[in-house]
Amino acid sequence: MSDSCIGACIYCSQLNRINTRQPYKKAICGKCKKALFVGQPINLNSQNFLIHLKAEIPLVVDFWADWCGPCKMMAPIFKQAAKELEPSIRLGKVDTEAQKMLASQHQILSIPTLILFRGGKEIARKSGAMQLSPLLNWVKSHF
């Protein structure tokens, strides 16, 4: 394993080199000085989506909408998954109503849809709401 990896700040989107020999909870952004990991999904939009894809930390994105019942049901489960998977895997959310271009670019045909990205490329996709255990198993099965 390398002594460092690149991660994006959840507040200012600055890319940061993270020392992997130190606890991730100590990692702070070099620009805004806030914690890089807080155990919560981040809100992604057209301005920060590509930056988080560039980071070396794998990214699981939940494409959702406020009017979607299954999306609302899955929101607290996705939040719990972020607490369990971070810092090894970053979780983010894209509101398909507010970010129609991102939804279109990723060919989102139903919601919720989860896409797992690694190295900036899509490696897995799953549509439909999931409970915590199947969600964690699905993500971990790709690593």
* β-bridge mates for residue 63, sequence order: 94, 113
- For residue 136, how many other CB atoms are within 10 A of its CB? 17
Q: Is 5 a catalytic residue?
A: no
Map residue 13 onto helix, strand or coil: coil
Indicate if 71 belongs to the active site. Answer: yes
Note the helical H segments in 2-142: 49-54, 69-85, 100-105, 132-140
For β-strands 59-64 and 113-118, DSSP reports them as antiparallel
Beta-carbon count within 10 A of 110 CB: 10
Tell me the chain's radius of gyration from C-alpha atoms. Answer: 15
Active site residues: 68, 71
